[in-house]
């Protein structure tokens, strides 16, 4: 599409109309832009980052087409075309709406509180066996994600599956115009985003607007409030229910099979799930497939391939100093593009390899398809491509980078190629079972993992950024292995999101970050005096907290790096006291070569309302000290005092910078917000299930006793993994398939026993130690400690997996 056509569609002011570029790619994140003139950059305004600010650097990169809402001087960009509109997000939505209207095909629109993404993925998996399907990538269901999804519609597509999510009243109407679904699925209603609606009924009514012009609508008969609301629409309502003859589709269980009775026909399917959440999702999916006319054979074949949990992009540590980016569930062009963007966000290793299967059901000529994939790989500077499948091997001439081809996953595993010091993206269609490749490449720890959600971290970062006044900088603390989460991966994520500083406790943490490619300024809170010589080498900024430390620092450093001066205001930890200030100013006068980057303090009770007078006293003491030192220096260093709780409770004391710590990881000790998301889930597996008789003893010292005949499960976690002995003997519970299972007996070093009597549990089942339930706050209460300790206690032998929805 030409820029002039876009201008006409949007009624935009066309600046520099002599440059009428052809564009086919929309970019709204400057970090994901390439040097292609076929990209249209959409400058979205934001509280702390405005897309218009990146136009100069993008122009230097090679971008030549821009959608803007802030007038620019075209003389500064003589080779670029600009489209000026009043609101760039609305313009993007209008462009996607126009694009959608060019297609006449079945479009499935999915909304609800939970299950949207998995129903979309599962339904697409079924439909892909017969039709060329376009779908929302990942969880692209927002005001921004929906138009970006719909833009991917092409003439070769035969059916579309899009999801839509809203967080407040007034949002769904725009998404309905963009998607224009012909078939709708309303999954369920829950508490997510409840604060944006007056009532549950208002939330249902808002979501139901997606189906204003639908022909048919699917929902569960048991969700009576949803059924009632959808009954007001013009669409034909198709309900499903379990052993409910009054439903449009009556699903009758029969052993491990389910009989679907629909329009006088019976369809029987074997479903490999037992969890009620998975069953609801698969029933929505199969119902939609039947309504769309999919055959029973195709449905069953696809169901056999499905997994019981949403498949997400996961970053794992591999053998030989590698990282594995696991996106092995499906393979389409847009999904590959997103995965490659994530790969670019992970600069731990300079060398980048992609393991890619055949791209099935693309609807494109193979030469055109693989030529386009090559262009995408080139754009992301991929060093090495490994193709798995007969199609990609047959078309290997399309690739410009070094290529290795294998006809099957088995052939690849049999050859056992070695990888060292690189990041490897594994992206494949479900048929190729590339999870076997991931298992071959990843670090082999035991079955316990700490799963960390990138989106939750990014969300929490955004929550705190929204509290900040303009121009206030943000330091994020990543000490103690990033609060036990994984310092290397978290630091790279924060660098990608352009925080201003990182903070660590010790020098070795900072040196590790530098060696892993972190270039952000780093403040070290407690430097070993014997290591001062390394600060300049690695461009690190130490906290200086005493006269003796400062004198020694100046004595042993010929060219001292910038420092942060810590002021003691009542915490009574490290810091210069008020009586030290005159001597400190004298030293600063005598050493003008020393640059002071920051002056800071720490509020001891910023989270405690009953100590607010003391916090104000600390702030007054700090202000006096800062003014003295700044006057002595002749300039104003960065002034910072607030921690996570302080950011929420003390906006008046934001000064020049704040220090975000535990809040990033999902905990608000101030008690002033419920917006934060839990970022991590500790999970393990059942190693063995065994029967016990009444009176049997269990575990060390025979502390556990079976009070009845039943069953226990042994799970692969113990106090060496950070699961405290305090949790033993029924003092804690874990979750098995959505069911509470209390501990029984003492916690062992590497194992724990749980009581699974009467529960649906099998060997190999996943066990949640903490996550949504039980949450870390509960574990902290059981252990009579604080969430910080629970999180930081997770042993480094526990494998960290970083997931992105």
Q: Which residues are annotated as a binding site for substrate?
A: 573, 749
d(C-alpha 117, C-alpha 124), whole Å: 11
Question: Which run of H or E residues covers position 318?
Answer: strand 313-318
Taking Cα atoms as reference points, which of 299, 285, 301 lies closest to residue 240?
285
Q: What share of the chain is helix, strand, coil (3-state, %, to 5)?
A: 35, 25, 40
Residue 135 pairs with which residues in a beta bridge? Answer: 161
Q: Which long-range contacts (CB under 8 A, 24 or more apart) does 190-193 make?
A: 190/113, 190/114, 191/113, 192/113, 192/114, 193/113, 193/165, 193/166, 193/167, 193/168
Residue 138: active-site member: no
DSSP 261-294: EETTEEEEEE----SHHHHHHHHHHHHHHHHTT-
Taking Cα atoms as reference points, which of 620, 501, 634 lies closest to residue 567?
620
Q: Which of 316, 349, 479, 683 is catalytic?
A: 479
Helix 276-291 with 116-127: angle, nearest 10 deg: 40
One-letter-per-residue 3-state SS of 346-412: CCCCCEEEEEEECCCCCCCCHHHHHHHHHHHHHHCCCCEEEEECHHHHHCHHHCCCCEEEECCHHHH
Other Cβ atoms less than 10 A from the Cβ of 401: the count is 15
Taking Cα atoms as reference points, which of 618, 614, 511, 509 lies closest to residue 568?
618
Residue 300 backbone phi and psi in degrees, to 5: -65, -40
d(C-alpha 47, C-alpha 428), whole Å: 37
d(C-alpha 113, C-alpha 191), whole Å: 7
Question: Which run of H or E residues covers position 512?
Answer: helix 507-515
Question: Which run of H or E residues covers position 480?
Answer: helix 479-483
d(C-alpha 755, C-alpha 777), whole Å: 22
Distance, first Cα to last Cα, the chain = 31
Other Cβ atoms less than 10 A from the Cβ of 147: the count is 28
Residue 464: active-site member: no
Residue 689 pairs with which residues in a beta bridge? Answer: 713
- Respond yes or no on whether the N-terminal peptide bond of residue 774 is cis (omega within 30° of 0): yes
DSSP at 574: S
- Which 3 state secondary structure label does DSSP give 97? helix
d(C-alpha 88, C-alpha 400), whole Å: 36
Taking Cα atoms as reference points, which of 443, 435, 451, 445 lies closest to residue 355?
435
Q: Which residues are catalytic?
A: 479, 700
């Amino acid at each position: 599409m030409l820029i002039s056509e876009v201008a006409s569609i949007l009624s935009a002011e066309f600046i520099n109309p002599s440059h009428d570029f052809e564009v086919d790619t929309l970019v709204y994140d400057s970090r994901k832009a390439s040097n292609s003139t076929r990209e249209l950059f959409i400058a979205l305004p934001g509280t702390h980052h405005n897309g218009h600010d990146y136009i100069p650097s993008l122009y230097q990169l090679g971008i030549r087409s821009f959608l803007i809402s802030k007038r620019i001087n075209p003389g500064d960009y003589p080779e670029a075309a600009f489209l000026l509109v009043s609101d760039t997000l609305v313009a993007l939505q209008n462009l996607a709406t126009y694009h959608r209207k060019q297609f006449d095909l079945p479009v499935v629109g999915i909304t609800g509180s939970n299950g949207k993404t998995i129903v979309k993925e599962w339904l697409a998996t079924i439909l892909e066996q017969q039709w060329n399907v376009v779908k929302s990538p990942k969880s692209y269901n927002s005001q921004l994600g929906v138009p970006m999804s719909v833009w991917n519609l092409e003439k070769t597509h035969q059916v579309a599956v899009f999801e839509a999510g809203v967080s407040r009243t007034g949002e769904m109407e725009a998404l309905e115009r963009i998607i224009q679904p012909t078939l709708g699925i309303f999954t369920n209603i829950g508490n997510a985003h409840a604060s944006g609606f007056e009532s549950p009924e208002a939330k249902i009514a808002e979501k139901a607007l997606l189906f204003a012009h639908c022909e048919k609508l699917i929902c569960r008969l048991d969700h009576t409030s949803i059924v009632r609301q959808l009954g007001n629409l013009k669409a034909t309502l198709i309900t499903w229910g379990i052993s409910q003859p009054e439903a449009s589709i009556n699903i009758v269980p029969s052993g491990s099979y389910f009989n679907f009775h629909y329009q006088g026909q019976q369809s029987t399917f074997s479903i490999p799930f037992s969890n009620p959440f998975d069953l609801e999702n698969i029933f929505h999916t199969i119902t939609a497939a039947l309504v769309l006319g999919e055959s029973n054979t195709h449905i069953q074949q696809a169901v056999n391939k499905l997994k019981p949990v949403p498949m997400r992009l996961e970053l794992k540590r591999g053998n030989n100093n590698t990282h594995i980016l696991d996106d092995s569930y499906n393979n389409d062009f847009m999904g590959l593009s997103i995965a490659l963007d994530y790969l670019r966000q992970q600069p731990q290793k300079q060398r980048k390899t992609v393991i890619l299967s055949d791209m099935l059901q693309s609807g494109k000529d193979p030469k055109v398809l693989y030529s386009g994939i090559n262009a995408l790989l080139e754009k992301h500077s991929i060093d090495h491509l490994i193709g798995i499948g007969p199609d990609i091997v047959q078309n290997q001439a399309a690739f410009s980078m070094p290529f290795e081809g294998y006809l099957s996953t088995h052939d690849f595993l049999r050859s056992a190629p070695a990888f060292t010091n690189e990041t490897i993206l594994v992206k494949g269609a479900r048929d190729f079972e590339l999870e076997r490749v991931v298992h071959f490449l990843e670090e082999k720890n035991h079955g316990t993992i700490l799963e960390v959600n990138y989106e939750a971290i990014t969300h929490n970062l955004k929550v705190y950024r929204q509290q900040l006044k303009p121009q206030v900088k943000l330091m994020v603390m990543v000490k103690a292995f990033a609060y036990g989460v994984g310092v290397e991966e978290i630091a790279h994520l924060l660098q990608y999101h352009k925080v201003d500083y990182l903070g660590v406790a010790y020098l070795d943490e900072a040196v590790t970050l530098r060696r892993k490619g972190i270039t952000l300024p780093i403040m070290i809170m407690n430097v070993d005096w014997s290591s001062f010589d390394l600060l300049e080498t690695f461009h690190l900024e130490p906290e200086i907290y005493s006269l003796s430390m400062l004198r020694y620092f100046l004595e042993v450093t010929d060219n001292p790096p910038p420092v942060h001066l810590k002021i003691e205001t009542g915490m009574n930890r490290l810091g210069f006291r008020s009586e030290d200030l005159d001597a400190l100013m004298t030293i600063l006068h005598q050493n003008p070569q020393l640059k002071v980057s920051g002056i800071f303090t720490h509020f001891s009770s910023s989270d405690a309302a009953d100590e607010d007078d003391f916090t104000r006293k600390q702030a007054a003491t700090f202000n006096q000290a800062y003014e003295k030192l700044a006057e002595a220096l002749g300039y104003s260093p960065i002034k910072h005092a607030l921690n996570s709780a302080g950011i929420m409770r003390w906006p008046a004391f934001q000064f020049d910078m704040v220090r975000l710590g535990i809040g990033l990881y999902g905990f608000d000790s101030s008690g002033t917000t419920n917006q934060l998301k839990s970022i991590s889930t500790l999970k393990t597996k059942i190693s063995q299930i065994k029967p016990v008789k009444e009176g049997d003893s269990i575990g060390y010292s025979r502390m556990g006793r079976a009070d009845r005949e039943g069953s226990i499960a042994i799970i692969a976690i113990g106090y060496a993994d950070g699961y405290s002995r305090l949790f033993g003997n029924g003092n804690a519970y874990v979750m098995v398939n959505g069911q509470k299972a209390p501990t029984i007996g003492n916690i062992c070093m590497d194992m724990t026993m749980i009581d699974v009597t009467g529960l649906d549990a099998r060997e190999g089942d996943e066990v949640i130690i903490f996550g949504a339930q039980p949450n870390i706050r509960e574990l902290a209460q059981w252990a009579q400690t604080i969430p910080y300790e629970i999180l930081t206690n997770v042993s480094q032998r526990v494998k960290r997996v970083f997931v992105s929805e």
